[in-house]
């Protein structure tokens, strides 16, 4: 069958919407007519070849839509079902398809499958902080702001957002950060220590992928603190850490992939939190027509918007 898709032809090239031939549906596959799709930071760094994915390619993995057909081995969903698309979490199938209630807006839930569940899951699934804990989030984009909202849900008492964009920091404060630090104006490590009574944060997140920022995210934690690495740098990026800063303080650093979530379980919980008004992720979204994909990508890269979401006709 013929489909329209945004093709990444070569390194750094603009997205080109082309008519393509889609192969026959396999027994274990689901055909989804995508209604909306978020643009993820990973899409952009694959386009720019930070990750060595062969090109040309059709990118995009934050989608939501309606099931049009299912393979003979698929029993989980049926044609007409509303679904959100996410990553392969358990190995049972190549990609997870989460069934949705029909009243859930597809252009809101689309980005839940990657960036939003990554930030929220880092807090609610990977860290699981006790009420009254402290957390510092470096980078207040989609992942960081989702983590801040989740930290408020978890009952964290001190939530520090760190960025260099004043508008992002203002939004972080509105969405749950109890304190914000402009890293362009002051030392975030010192500021976080002062905010936590000289102890340091219980948890921290690096959502930037910058080695210098990861250092700060590690060193801002207190004794026994945990730093989660989420930001995606180019392959081969290395970071230098003082080994005694890890050893003597009992700190740990861990990588967090997709919030360590099982989408079939976690996404419905996030959607219910959104329904209750406790997880207002629509505040970070800006919607574009599919044909505006390059403008949406540029706006995301220059920081004009936090999370661009494409609407398909």
**Which CATH topology does 117-258 take?**
Rossmann fold (3.40.50)
Instruction: Indicate whether 167 pLDDT > 90.
Output: yes
Residue 216 is predicted with a pLDDT of 98
* Average pLDDT of the segment spanning 251-261: 96
Parse the chain into domains and list their residue ranges: 2-113+280-311, 117-258
* Average pLDDT of the segment spanning 133-138: 98
Query: Which of 150, 91, 101, 99 is closest to 121 using CA atoms?
Result: 150
Read off the pLDDT of residues 21-32 as tens digits, 9 standing for 90 and up: 999 999 989 999
Rounded Cα distance, 56 and 10, in Å? 6
Residue 93 is predicted with a pLDDT of 57
Query: Which of 84, 158, 148 is closest to 119 using CA atoms?
Result: 148
Instruction: Indicate whether 256 pLDDT > 90.
Output: yes
Same fold, 2-113+280-311 and 117-258: no
Higher pLDDT, 90 or 221: 221
Instruction: Indicate whether 114 pLDDT > 80.
Output: yes
Instruction: Indicate whether 44 pLDDT > 80.
Output: yes
Higher pLDDT, 313 or 87: 87
Q: What percent of the chain has pLDDT over 90?
A: 93
Read off the pLDDT of residues 195-221 as tens digits, 9 standing for 90 and up: 999 999 999 999 999 999 999 999 999
**Which CATH topology does 2-113+280-311 take?**
Quinone Oxidoreductase; Chain A, domain 1 (3.90.180)
pTM assigned to the model: 0.94
């Amino acid at each position: 069958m013929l489909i329209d898709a945004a093709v990444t032809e070569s390194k750094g090239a603009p997205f080109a919407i082309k008519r393509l031939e889609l192969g026959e549906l396999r027994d274990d596959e689901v055909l989804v007519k995508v209604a909306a799709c978020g643009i993820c930071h990973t899409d952009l760094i694959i386009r720019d070849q930070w990750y060595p994915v062969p090109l040309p390619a059709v990118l995009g993995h934050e989608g939501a839509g309606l099931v049009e057909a299912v393979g003979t081995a698929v029993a989980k969903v049926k044609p007409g079902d509303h679904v959100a698309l996410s990553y392969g979490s358990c190995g049972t199938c190549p990609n997870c398809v989460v069934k949705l209630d029909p009243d859930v807006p597809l252009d809101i839930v689309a980005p839940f499958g990657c960036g939003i569940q990554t930030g929220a899951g880092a807090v609610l699934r990977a860290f699981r902080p006790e009420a009254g804990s402290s957390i510092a989030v470096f980078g207040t984009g989609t992942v960081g702001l989702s983590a801040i909202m989740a930290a408020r849900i978890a009952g964290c008492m001190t939530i520090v957002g760190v960025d260099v964009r004043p508008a992002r920091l203002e939004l972080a404060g509105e969405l749950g950060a109890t304190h914000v630090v402009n890293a362009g104006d002051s030392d975030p490590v010192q500021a976080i220590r002062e905010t936590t009574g000289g102890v340091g944060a219980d948890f921290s997140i690096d959502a930037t992928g910058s080695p210098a920022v990861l250092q700060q995210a590690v060193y801002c934690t207190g004794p026994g603190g945990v730093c989660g690495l989420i930001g995606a740098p180019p392959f081969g990026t290395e970071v230098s850490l003082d080994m005694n800063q890890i050893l003597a303080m009992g700190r740990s650093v861990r990588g967090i992939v997709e919030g360590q979530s099982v989408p079939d379980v976690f996404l419905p919980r996030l959607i219910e939190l959104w329904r209750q008004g406790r997880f207002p992720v629509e505040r970070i979204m800006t919607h574009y027509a599919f044909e505006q994909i390059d403008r949406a990508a540029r706006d995301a890269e220059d920081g004009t918007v936090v999370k661009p979401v494409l609407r398909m006709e």
